Amino acid sequence: MNFKKAIIFDIYGEFGHFRKFNTTTSPLTFSLPTPSAVFGMLGAILGIEREDSQNTVNEDENHLRKVFSAENAYIAIRPISRIKKVNMAFNLLITSSSPNTFYNIKPSGRSQIEFELLKNPRFRIYLCWNHLLRNNLIERLEDKNFYFNPYLGLAQMTANIDYIGEKKLNKIIKEDYVDFCSAINLSEIDSDNPIDIDYMKSRVFQLETFPLEMNVDRTISRYGEVLTEMNGFNVKAVPNDKSFSIIDEGNVQFL
C-alpha cells in the first residue's frame, strides 16, 4: 500500500443486513459491512449506475468494480458501537418471470422468512483511494449531496453518513502486538500467534470468512478470516504491511 491519507466517514442506521454467502432460507448477516457493500454505498453517492443483468454498463459509464478495484481502493472498518443482532420476519412474495404474479396474490404465493439484522449499527470507514472521482466523493460526503440514497445492505434500510475528514497515515513498523481499533484480517498476518490470546479472554470476538475482493464478473478473488471485537473495544494483534496509525483515531488495518 502506497497511500499517504485516508478519507474517513461514519455509516449508521436503524437496521442493516449484509448477507452471508453461505446462508439460504434463513439469511444471516456479517457483523461488518463487506468491502463490496461499502463500495456500493460510495457508488450510490457518486451516481455510478449499476450494471444490467448481463453485467455490462454503457460505453460512457464507469463500472463500479473498476472504479473501486483491488489495485486502487483499500478500506479499514471500525465498529464504534456494540454490534447487536436481532431476528425479524419478512413477508416475501413468491414470483416468477411473469408480471401477473404480482397481482391477485394467493395465500400460497406468500412466504415468511426470518432475517438476522444488525440493530443500530455504526461503523467508521477508512478509505484509501486513487481515482479521478476522489475530490468529487469528498465534496459529496461533506455536503451530504448523494446522487442515490445509500442503504445498509437492503434497500429499505437507509444509511446515514457523516463525513469525518481526511487524515494522514503513518506506517506501523513495530513487530510486537499493537492495539487496533479496526477489524483485523488474520489471513494476512504472518505470525504463529497473530493476536494476544490473554487479551482476548476479557473480550467478545467474532471470526468470519469475508469476501474481500470482487471481480467485474462478480466472482470473489480473495477471502479473509476477519476478526471483530463485538463490543467496540480494541484488538491486540501483530501488524502487517497494511497497518497504519492515524492521529486522534488509533491504529487500523486495511482489509
- Between 128 and 112, the more confident residue is 128
Q: Could you say which architecture CATH assigns to the domain 5-253? A: 2-Layer Sandwich (3.30)
pLDDT at 55: 54
pLDDT, tens digit (0-9, with 9 covering 90-100), for 179-220: 999 999 999 998 888 988 888 888 899 999 999 998 877 888
The answer to whether 210 and 224 are in contact (CB under 8 A) is: yes
The answer to whether 189 and 55 are in contact (CB under 8 A) is: no
pLDDT at 180: 95
pLDDT, tens digit (0-9, with 9 covering 90-100), for 94-118: 666 566 655 666 666 667 788 899 9
Average pLDDT, the chain: 87
**Cβ density class 117-151: b for 16+ within 10 Å, e for less:** bbeebbbbbbbbbebebeeebbebbeeeebeeebb
CB burial class (10 A; 0-12, 13-18, 19+) of residue 237?
buried
pLDDT at 54: 52
The answer to whether 68 and 129 are in contact (CB under 8 A) is: yes
Which residues does residue 226 pair with via DSSP β-bridges, in sequence order?
185, 208
Q: Is the pLDDT of residue 45 over 90?
A: yes
| pTM for the predicted model, two decimal places | 0.90
Map out the domains of the chain as residue ranges: 5-253
